[in-house]
Amino acid sequence: MSYKEVSGILGNPTSCDDAVGFKSCNWGDAKRYVTVRFAGDAVILHSAENIR
């Protein structure tokens, strides 16, 4: 999935960090969140904590 597709589902991220073609974005807060990592514009890894 692309960043645009993920943002369309989850909304605007709480924060994003960019580094040399990689992007890591978080949705949520310190206790409940979804993290998605992108290479270029494609998801390479995702994780979630305390999501129900």
Q: Tell me: the pLDDT tens digits for 1-52?
A: 999 999 999 999 999 999 999 999 999 999 999 999 999 999 999 999 999 8
pLDDT at 17: 97
> Residue 52: what pLDDT?
82
Handedness of CA 45, 9, 48, 35 (dihedral sign): positive
Question: Has this prediction a pTM greater than 0.75?
Answer: yes
First and final C-alpha spacing in the chain: 22
User: Residue type at 30?
Assistant: A
